[in-house]
Amino acid sequence: MFSFLKKSGTDSKADVKADVPAEAAAPSWRERLFKGLAKTRAQWGGKLKSIFSRGKVDEELLEELETLLLTSDCGIEATQHLLDELKKAAKRDKLDTPEAIQKALHDALLETLQPLEQPLDFSTHKPFVIMIAGVNGAGKTTSIGKLAKYFQTQGKSVLLAAGDTFRAAAREQLETWGERNNVTVIAQDNGDPAAVVFDAISAAKARGIDIVLADTAGRLPTQLHLMEEIAKVRRVIQKIDPEGPHETLLVLDANIGQNALQQVKAFDKAINVTGLVLTKLDGTAKGGVVTAIARQCPKPIRFIGVGEQIDDLRPFSAKDFVDALFE
């Protein structure tokens, strides 16, 4: 039996009100981002000052910087790229002060991450169907609740599909987020995930909903039967909308560092990942994994999370991210 949580007027755009205008929210988000990246910055900050203090780009500096980048989970390929860019800048611009060297590294990192900054365009379809995947513990269901809130602040109506029928408390957790955001959650008792998502999209079309967020069961890439199940969800979505899902987001826990790369590759092979949500950046010193992603599996980072509050998930800004690492 399908269950529908009641909501009051969320279907009407007139009833959807942003808590804070985007322009006014930006400074406070930047502050939260800087606070959230404190652990990664602490790993970089003092060590960078020490490394750059000699004021010249020599072999000793490059070796120390290489160690720092690798321990921040930048990965070998991204680390080598940044070192090469720094050597080029040193030769071209004759860098001879700590400040100039740091700025050169800042600019090289920003140039590396800039291609990942591709804001999600959810105006192309209605409903815009977003399928969300990830391993257990990555923060997938919590991220869905936060995404629902974010889309509401953009004036969009949202519907949630409880497609995680594998984990016992998943539906209840999603329904709690639905109540907090005042949006409908469509679920089934012991139902088939694909059937739940199919019904959710049908309901969204009937009600004129803007965005459908479809949860899926957390799984490891090695669990082939579950990976096939999520591929089935994708195929069922395409039956009701041949162009869907319009976005397939993979939620990654920043704490896992380099292991994130393997997850991106495995899920991409199964379901064609189009964007990433990077969570828990506030709890790790491994923020350098963003650089590894940029060099080894460059999927757009649509959103990053730096806290537990409902509005602590926002679109990725390469400049804000890099600034937060250095300042």
The mean pLDDT value for 36-43 works out to 76
Q: How high is the pLDDT of residue 19?
A: 47
What are the tens digits of pLDDT across the range 232-247?
A: 889 999 999 999 999 9
Q: How high is the pLDDT of residue 9?
A: 39
Q: How high is the pLDDT of residue 2?
A: 36
What are the tens digits of pLDDT across the range 143-183?
A: 999 999 999 999 999 999 998 877 767 888 888 988 988 99
- Judge whether 320 and 141 are in contact, CB under 8 Å: no
What are the tens digits of pLDDT across the range 291-321?
A: 999 999 999 999 998 878 888 899 999 998 8
Q: How confident is the model at residue 28 (pLDDT cuts 50, 70, 90)?
A: low
Q: How high is the pLDDT of residue 191?
A: 74
Domain segments of the chain as ranges? 2-24+117-326
What stretches of the chain show up as alpha helix (H) in DSSP? 22-36, 38-52, 59-71, 76-93, 98-113, 140-153, 170-181, 193-207, 224-240, 259-271, 289-296, 318-326
Q: Class for domain 2-24+117-326, per CATH?
A: alpha beta
* Sequence-separated (6 or more) residues with CB below 8 Å from residue 47: 64, 68
Q: How confident is the model at residue 46 (pLDDT cuts 50, 70, 90)?
A: low
